[in-house]
């Protein structure tokens, strides 16, 4: 079973690239972030024509998530139950017996901002809900754009970016709290090249210079850990014309 996550930075712009990518990478499920489109405009037909089912939860201009899967996802949940939020950030569903949660974590803007306070509140709510989901669905995958670097290996310039957004101690503590529930960062279960990132700024030729961050992650529960065969970042779509600033991450479960 293969699962993937991709922040597409507008599905309207990136739909052809998503369809091309799925044709070349026929994964069982793909979660998207930053679809930036309302549900009435979601390109459902094009995705179904490619042989996939889809559940989606969007809004105008910002955010928006989708869960694309070979078999229809069951028991779909949108956003974090009990957490009041006007942003569309989470979609969860059960695919082939595996609970799949796709999430677009808040950016946080800057450590002293209101948006950072919201990010911390959102992370608390996610943690509480993930605990409940794990007791109901032991075989669980949490993946998406976390907007958090796990440690300095995930940062192109850890000295220059120390304590800036995505690299703060508070964000990394929240990530560790998720791990402490019995989750595993699948990328680090394997030997990986140094300076491996999933996002590069559009400016200053950041991709060409490999000035990036690893902020897109795939976490699996204890029950799935032994089945993980690989976790790879697919840099190919970042080389497309009009690329997303993020590139897909793919996990293979045996």
List of residues contacting DNA (CB under 7 A): 7, 9-10, 12-13, 34, 36, 60-62, 106-107, 109, 115, 145, 147, 165-166, 199, 201-204, 213, 215, 242, 245-246
3, two tokens: 């699962």
Q: Tell me whether residue 208 or residue 226 sits nearer to DNA (CB atom).
A: 208
CB of 174 to DNA, least distance (A): 15
Of 113 and 136, the one with the shorter C-beta distance to DNA is 113
Secondary structure of 135-186 in HEC code, one letter for each residue: HHCCCEEEEEECCCCCCHHHECCCCCCCCCCCCCHHHHHHHHHHHHCCEEEH
At its nearest, how many Å lie between DNA and the CB of residue 170? 16
Q: Which is nearer to DNA, 14 or 99 (CB)?
A: 14
Helix and strand tally (H, E) in the chain? 5, 14
Comparison of 60 and 132: residue with beta carbon closer to DNA: 60
The C-alpha atoms of residue 142 and residue 91 are separated, in whole angstroms, by 10
Pair 171, 121: CB distance under 8 Å:
no
- What count of other Cβ atoms lies within 10 Å of the Cβ of residue 3? 26
Distance CA 54, CA 105 (A): 21
Of the two residues 139 and 212, which places its CB atom closer to DNA in the complex?
A: 212
CB of 191 to DNA, least distance (A): 25
Paired residues of 220 in beta bridges: 141, 184
Q: Closest by alpha carbon to 70, among 104, 110, 131, 26? A: 26
Taking the complex as a whole, the smallest distance from the CB of residue 225 to DNA amounts, in Å, to: 28
Residue written as token pair 């940062």: 155
In terms of CB distance, is 104 or 137 closer to DNA?
A: 104
For DNA, the closer CB: 28 or 145: 145
Number of neighbouring beta carbons within 10 Å of residue 78: 17
For residue 231, what are its two tokens?
């976790």
Taking the complex as a whole, the smallest distance from the CB of residue 159 to DNA amounts, in Å, to 16
């Amino acid at each position: 079973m293969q699962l993937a996550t991709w922040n597409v930075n507008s599905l309207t712009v990136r739909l052809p690239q998503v369809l091309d990518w799925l044709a070349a990478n026929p994964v069982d499920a793909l979660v998207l972030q930053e679809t930036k489109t309302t549900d009435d405009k979601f390109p459902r037909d094009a995705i179904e024509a490619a042989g996939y089912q889809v559940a989606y939860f969007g809004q105008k201009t910002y955010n928006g998530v989708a869960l694309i899967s070979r078999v229809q996802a069951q028991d779909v949940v949108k956003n974090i139950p009990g957490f009041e939020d006007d942003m569309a950030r989470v979609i969860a569903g059960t695919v082939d017996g595996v609970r799949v949660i796709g999430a677009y974590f808040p950016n946080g803007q800057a450590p002293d901002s209101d948006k950072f306070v919201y990010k911390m509140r959102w992370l608390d709510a996610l943690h509480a809900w993930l605990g409940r989901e794990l007791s109901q669905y032991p075989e669980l995958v949490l993946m998406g754009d976390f907007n958090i670097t796990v440690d300095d290996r995930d940062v192109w310039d850890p000295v220059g970016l120390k304590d800036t957004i995505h690299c703060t101690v508070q964000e990394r503590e929240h990530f560790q709290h998720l791990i402490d529930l019995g989750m595993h960062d699948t990328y680090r279960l394997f030997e990986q090249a140094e300076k491996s990132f999933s996002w590069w700024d559009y400016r200053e030729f950041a991709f060409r210079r490999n000035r990036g961050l690893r902020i897109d992650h795939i976490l699996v529960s204890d029950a799935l850990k032994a089945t993980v065969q690989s976790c790879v970042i697919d840099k190919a779509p970042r080389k497309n014309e009009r690329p997303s600033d993020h590139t897909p991450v793919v996990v293979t479960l045996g």
